Amino acid sequence: MQAKITSFFHASTSTWSYLVQDPATGEAAVIDAPLDFDPASGVLGHASAAAILQAAGRDGARLRWILETHAHADHLSAAAWLKESTGAQTAIGAGIEQVQATFRQRLGLEDEPELDRHAFDRLLHDGDELPLGGLAIGVVATPGHTPDSLSYLVGDAVFVGDTVFSPQAGTARCDFPGGDAHALFQSVWRIYGLPATRMFLAHDYPADGAEPRAEVPVAEQRATNTHIREGISEDAFVAMRRQRDAGLPPPRLLWPSLQVNIRGGRLPPPEANGERYFKLPLQVRD
Ligand SMILES: [Fe+2]
């Protein structure tokens, strides 16, 4: 039986989230669910994540897995809120330990003992399989954008995280710590070769007036993706990717996102006055 896949677009961060269900048993997984966050006011909300749970509830589905394709730098993960709400298990790629180490040091969070692998219920490795009722979720390590990047294979569908974007947008940046354009090229070709025909994107940035796209046939990407398609060499891709990355600004929610996402979607602990804060490393220039 095919999985039932429902997509949810988070317009303020251009993020796609997915509810994946085994229709036979009602077991479900959520992939890359965001919190709502306004960086100017510091207001956080759960309405977008709650909408995913409501959709699951309408179908009589029971959430078993809360999956991340990687520690995102452009939105805050709702994983911890979903776990609290449902008791489902959180999981991310084992490379998260490298990401946690980098940003624990960069943000001066070394004395926070729980900021390690135990921020997630499960760390995943290439080749792992997660049961979903009568279906299985295959784990495919697809590093390059970040060292913890994974894709999830469910039947004929693959959820690619930030590896490939739409055919017009191409690929994800590779200039974050642990990013590697060579690795991304290899990962994208690995995805193109998987036994999947449908690719589900983690983001889309449509032109004004156009609808965002969640699903792209793998064959269309292989033939037309503007960055990685038949006939483009690894060296040509890497040169293009590096040049492009050199001109990209940091994501708008970079620092708040990382501070939540390396903690498995939890907020920073409260300070003595009971308030929680995000840190912003400063770079003073003349
Ligand atoms: Fe990302």
**Residue 176: CATH number of its domain:** 3.60.15.10
According to DSSP, the β-strands at 135-141 and 150-154 are: antiparallel
Exposure on the CB side of residue 148, measured as CA atoms within 13 A: 27
- Does residue 276 form part of some domain? no
DSSP β-bridge partners for residue 87: none
Q: Tell me whether residue 41 is in a domain.
A: yes
pLDDT tens, 201-230? 999 998 888 899 999 999 999 999 999 999
Asked if residue 109 is part of any domain, the answer here is: yes
On whether residue 286 sits in a domain, the answer given is no
Using the mean position of ligand 1's atoms as its centre, give its distance from the Cα of residue 249 in Å: 14
Asked if the model's pLDDT at residue 114 lies above 90, the reply is no
In the reported structure, the alpha carbon of residue 236 is separated from the centroid of ligand 1 by a whole-number distance in angstroms of 22
Question: What pLDDT was estimated at residue 208?
Answer: 85
| Confidence (pLDDT) at 47 | 98
Residue 281 lies in a domain: no
Whole-number Å distance, alpha carbon 187 to ligand 1 midpoint, is: 15
Whether 55 and 6 have beta carbons less than 8 Å apart is answered as: yes
Angle (nearest 5°) at CA 176 between 160 and 168 = 45
Confidence of residue 189 (pLDDT cuts 50, 70, 90): very high
**Confidence band for 1, pLDDT divided at 50, 70 and 90:** confident
Contact status, residue 123 vs residue 92, Cβ threshold 8 Å? yes
Name the packing angle between helices 79-86 and 47-58 (round to 10°).
Answer: 40
Centre of ligand 1 to C-alpha 74, Å, is 7
| 149 domain residue, yes or no | yes
Spatial distance between the Cα atoms of 91 and 70, rounded to a whole number of angstroms: 10
In this predicted model, what pLDDT tens digit does every residue of 238-259 receive, in sequence order?
999 999 999 999 999 999 999 9
Tell me: pLDDT of 95 over 90.
yes
pLDDT > 70 in the chain, percent: 100
Q: What is the pLDDT of residues 163-188, one digit of tens each?
A: 999 999 999 999 999 999 999 999 99
Distance 214 CA to ligand 1 centre (A): 16
Range of the structural domain that residue 123 is part of: 4-261
180 within a domain of the structure (yes/no) = yes
What does the alpha-carbon distance between residue 39 and residue 21 come to, in Å, rounded to a whole number?
33
Could you tell me the distance, in angstroms and rounded to a whole number, from the CA of residue 96 to the centre of ligand 1?
13
CA distance 146 to 133: 30
Kindly report, residue by residue over 124-158, the tens digit of the pLDDT: 999 999 999 999 999 999 999 999 999 999 999 99
- In the reported structure, the alpha carbon of residue 15 is separated from the centroid of ligand 1 by a whole-number distance in angstroms of 10
Question: Does residue 92 contact residue 80 with C-beta atoms inside 8 Å?
Answer: no
Mean pLDDT of 3-17: 97
d(C-alpha 99, C-alpha 146), whole Å: 8
Structural domain tally of the chain? 1
Residue 272 in any domain: the answer is no
Claim: this prediction has a pTM higher than 0.85: yes
pLDDT tens, residue by residue, 55-68: 999 999 999 999 99
Q: How confident is the model at residue 276 (pLDDT cuts 50, 70, 90)?
A: very high
**How high is the pLDDT of residue 9?**
97
Round the average pLDDT of the chain to a whole number and report it: 97
